[in-house]
């Protein structure tokens, strides 16, 4: 019977794989999938997308979480009352095929970042 020998270092620690380290760092950064676009909304109103209030910058730009297969419904609220509502036109996010992992299953839709969504012309609630 051979006697047991112990190594001073574990073999994996000596040769850390740069790919593994990079993947771990990317995972640590987070899997938050986001989408961005510009909006024009009526003055003194609040934009709500999929039930969450959205902050629209002075230039109309905003960033929010990407959407599931159901797309994005919006509501414009003034003084706690809905002024208008409907569905925003969304597009498939090709990046969801690779990031975040399995993103195509739960966040495949995003806003069109080259478009300005003008919601000032929507004056009544529409059922879509």
The pTM of this model reads 0.67
Put residue 2 in one of left, alpha, beta given phi > 0 → left and psi -120 to 50 → alpha.
beta
Say what the pLDDT of residue 58 is.
93
Does a structural domain hold residue 5?
A: no
Q: State residue 81's pLDDT score.
A: 95
DSSP letter for each residue of 50-89: TTEEEPPPTTSEEEEE-B-TT-EEEEEEETTEEEEEEEE-
C-alpha span between 66 and 93 (Å, rounded): 9
Domain count along the chain: 1
Residue 12 placed within a domain: no
What pLDDT was estimated at residue 10?
53
128, part of any domain: no
Q: What percent of the chain has pLDDT over 70?
A: 68
Judge whether 123 lies within some domain. no
Residue 9 confidence (pLDDT): 55
- Could you tell me the residue range of the domain that residue 83 belongs to? 33-118
pLDDT tens string 73-128 = 999 999 999 999 999 999 998 888 877 677 777 788 999 888 999 999 864 444 44
Confidence of residue 62 (pLDDT cuts 50, 70, 90): very high
User: Could you tell me if residue 79 is inside a domain?
Assistant: yes
Q: Is the pLDDT of residue 49 over 60?
A: yes
pLDDT of residue 127: 42
């Amino acid at each position: 019977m051979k006697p047991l020998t112990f190594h001073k270092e574990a073999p994996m620690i000596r040769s850390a794989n740069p790919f593994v380290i990079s993947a771990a760092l990317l995972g640590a950064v987070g899997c938050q999938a986001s989408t961005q676009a510009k909006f024009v909304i009526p003055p003194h109103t609040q934009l709500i997308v999929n039930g969450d209030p959205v902050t629209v910058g002075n230039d109309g730009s905003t960033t929010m979480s990407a959407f599931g297969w159901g797309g994005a419904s919006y509501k414009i609220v003034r003084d706690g009352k809905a002024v208008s509502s409907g569905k925003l036109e969304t597009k498939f996010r090709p990046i969801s095929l690779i990031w975040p992992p399995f993103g195509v299953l739960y966040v495949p839709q995003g806003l069109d970042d080259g478009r300005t969504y003008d919601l000032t012309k929507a004056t009544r609630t529409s059922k879509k």
